[in-house]
Structure 1
Amino acid sequence: MPPSDALFIVFNRASGHGNRDELAPAAEAACEAAGRPCRLFPVEHPAELATIAADAVRQAREAGGIVVAAGGDGTINGVAQAVLGSGCRFGVLPRGTFNYFARTHGIPADLDGALRVLLTEQAVPVQVGLLNGRVFLVNASLGLYPQLLEDREAWKSQFGRSRLVALGAGIATLLRGHRSLRLTVELPGESREVRTPTLFVGNNALQMEQVGLPEARAIDAGRLAGVVLKPVGRWDLLRLLARGAFGQLGDADQVQNFAFHRLTVKARTFGARRLKVATDGEVLWMPLPLRFEVAPHPLLLIRPPGLAQERREAQAAAASEAAA
């Protein structure tokens, strides 16, 4: 069937701030005004997301329509997992706290602006990362970073969802201490043994730019960005956190960063069969070895053309810092 303008919107009622029920009527009103058919797929519980997203993709394929994810980075990840390889176009209505995927592609955080992009712009191919076949759009990691995410969610359940709460949770985690991982990291034609508190793989150029890591350009060129921390104490970790907040992490001696298309990670701990990992904020256990790679097929994302304004500002700030 030839492509249509129908929208199939999967939305997480638990995502975002303010009125959780505003998305459905706003989306229906915007689509009606634009003469665009739409169907809504509400997700009440996280366990339902994969099944509901698969149903939305099936219906969109039959109609030649567009699958839309409305929620935070975790919800967007779950819908993207279902969309990848389907041939469907993909849209985003960001409703989370950080919204890195939407921001790096210039999709506004406000609902009206995001709907306007969805209803007026064209699909552009964008890169997807895979960890053992699981999609990540922003980042994937193991070691300390998944623990930071688990602690952040515990703080959010107690104190609410905000960037300040996330920062406080991160500081508390670092002060509590950590254990280093002993890993074998394999790149094509190269193998190295590392001891590190965390291994982080980025697929979001804006996030890399904001903390001051040069691999943002590598992501633009179709690769993933690897970051490994040398073993350090808790106070050094806090200093690294501060450097990242000021966009200076790339200058730190304790940080090793590199770009790649494919990376395999094995544990050097005897008997280890799996490791705790995080993909776009979702924490889970995954069997070893871990294989990070660029997906062979992109997502066809509805987004404004060109470099996002926030990325232009980040690059200008980095250039100004380098010239100073």
Structure 2
Amino acid sequence: MLTSDDITSRDICVVANPKSGRNSKDAQAIEQAMEALGSGAQLRRWSREGGLEDEVKSAIAEGFKVIVAAGGDGTVMGVAQAMMGQPAHMGVLPLGTFNYFARGLGLPQEPAPAARAILKGRAHRISVGSVNGTVFLNNASLGLYPAALRAREDVYNRWGRWRFLAHLSLIRTIYRFQRPHAMHITTSGGVERRLRSPLVFVARSAYQLGYFGLEGSDAIANDEFAVFVARPGSRWQMLKLALRLAMGTMKAGRDIELISTREMVIETRQPRPYVAFDGEKKRMPSPLTFKIHDDALSIIVPDPADRISA
């Protein structure tokens, strides 16, 4: 097991989004983190030509033991995808809006303390989820949530990145809600369900569940998915559902159905539905296959003394 005694600054390569250098706040945060990591650490930004996966694998081939994902949950997810099955460890420098994965690890949210926590941390293997081969660390979903992400992007592009606007875009999406999706869901053991729902939310982050006051942490601890299927209803019922989610009063059985499973296949009428995962989104071919990959990723977790409470 890699321990704090084994990690030196020369072992670390920080991989950042090429856009992060244009944002003065992110640029300053990366500068502070690199100073805390020491002169031996390297900073790289992937290019459109090479891509994130090639940058990560190139750094590993050069002998770096720790690849640090500098960015939000989307960047962290991308680095995790590239590091599956690789002989290196992943660190996280949180620069995003929500940073659910980093917060779940107990990492400080300020750049310099987070960097020092990586230097003094230890390696820990975790299981991760995937949908149609794409890794996700926090959640994946279809229905209302991917639509809300598209609306959120529109709002961000016009008004800037504010958490309040993210919640406002969700309300806007619900108001425009048309009809629930027809789905055929098959879970572990061949259990089948045919249903209609405006939202299926597949969780892998116990921190995120706690943040929203949702059940399902036992499933996460057992290396399963916590799957939330919203009950169909009117726009007003969907707005009440969103309000209960924001207030942490949503309950399984009353508002949603909770399913725990290690594998799941969702067939939809749409041949290529929009799927959201860790803040990103894209169309994927149906059926959607969800799997748990046991102990698939080695993560640097902070020493107890550096860990912040979730």
Q: TM-score, normalised by structure 1?
A: 0.86
Q: Following TM superposition, by how much is the alpha carbon of 1:254 offset from its aligned partner in structure 2, in angstroms?
A: 2.6
The 3 A distance-change label for structure 1 pair 162 and 77 is: same
Are residue 295 (structure 1) and residue 293 (structure 2) matched?
yes
CA distance in 1, matches of 2:20, 2:245: 26
Contact kept in structure 2, 1:275 and 1:287, CA below 8 Å:
yes
Equivalent residues, number: 301
TM superposition shift of 1:309: 4.7
Q: Which residue identity is paired with 2:15?
A: V
CA distance, structure 1, for counterparts of residue 33 and residue 57 of structure 2: 18
The equivalent of 1:63 in structure 2 is: 63
What is the deviation of 1:216?
1.5
Tell me, yes or no, if the aligned pair for 2:77 and 2:136 is still in contact at 8 Å.
yes
Verify the 8 A CA contact 1:15 1:72 in the aligned structure 2.
no
Share of identical aligned residues, percent?
A: 34
SS of the residue corresponding to residue 164 of structure 2 reads helix
What letter matches 1:293 in structure 2?
A: K
Alignment match, 1:171: 171
Residues 227 and 256, structure 1, Cα contact 8 Å, conserved in 2: yes
Higher mean displacement: 195-204 or 14-23: 14-23
| Alignment match of 1:11 (pick from 6, 9, 16) | 16
CA RMSD of aligned residues (A): 2.3
1:38 counterpart = 2:36: no
Work out the CA distance in 1 between the residues paired with 2:128 and 2:46. 23
Structure 2: 5+ residue stretches without partners: none
Q: Secondary structure at the match of 2:32?
A: helix
The AA in structure 2 aligned to 1:56 is: V
Distance 2:174 2:271 in 1: 26
Q: Within the alignment, does 1:84 sit opposite 2:87 as a pair?
A: no
Which whole-Å CA distance do the structure 2 matches of 1:229 and 1:131 have between them? 19
Deviation at 1:174, TM superposition (A): 0.9
Question: SS in structure 1 opposite 2:195?
Answer: strand
Give, in angstroms, the shift of residue 159 of structure 1.
1.2
Instruction: Identify unmatched segments of 5+ residues in structure 1.
Output: 312-324
1:243-282 mapped onto 2 (5 Å cutoff): 243-251=244-252, 253-267=254-268, 269=269, 272-282=270-280
> After superposition, what is the alpha-carbon deviation per residue over 1:230-262, rounded to whole angstroms, capped at 9, x for unaligned?
111111111111111121112561310111100
Asked if structure 1 preserves the Cα contact closer than 8 Å seen for 2:128 and 2:135, the reply is yes
**Does residue 33 of structure 2 align to residue 27 of structure 1?**
yes
* Distance in 2, Cα, partners of 1:152 & 1:116: 33
- Name the SS for the 1:146 alignment partner: helix
**1:55, CA displacement in angstroms?**
2.5
**Residue equivalent to 1:156:** 156
Q: Is the 8 A contact 1:61 1:87 kept in 2?
A: no
Listed one character per residue, the Cα deviations across residues 141-188 of structure 1 (whole Å, up to 9, x for unaligned) are 111110001101110111111110101111111112232110100012
Equivalents in 1 of 2:84, 2:114: separation in Å? 21
Q: Quick check: 1:104–1:308 contact (8 Å CA) kept in 2?
A: no
Structure 1 residues 4 and 164: alpha-carbon distance in aligned structure 2, compared to 1, 3 A threshold: closer
* Alpha-carbon separation, structure 1, partners of 2:144 and 2:157: 20
Q: Secondary structure at the match of 1:124?
A: strand
Q: Secondary structure at the match of 1:249?
A: coil
TM-score (norm 2): 0.90
Q: In structure 2, do the counterparts of structure 1 residues 4 and 167 end up closer, same or farther at CA, with 3 Å as the change threshold? A: closer
How much does 1:305 deviate? 5.0
Compared with structure 1, are the counterparts of its residues 257 and 177 closer, same or farther at alpha carbon in structure 2 (3 Å cutoff)?
same
Contact map agreement 2:151 2:169 (CA 8 A) in 1: yes
Does the C-alpha gap of structure 1 residues 251 and 108 become closer, same or farther in structure 2, counting only changes over 3 Å? same
Distance 1:82 1:302 in 2: 16
1:10 aligned partner, one-letter code: V
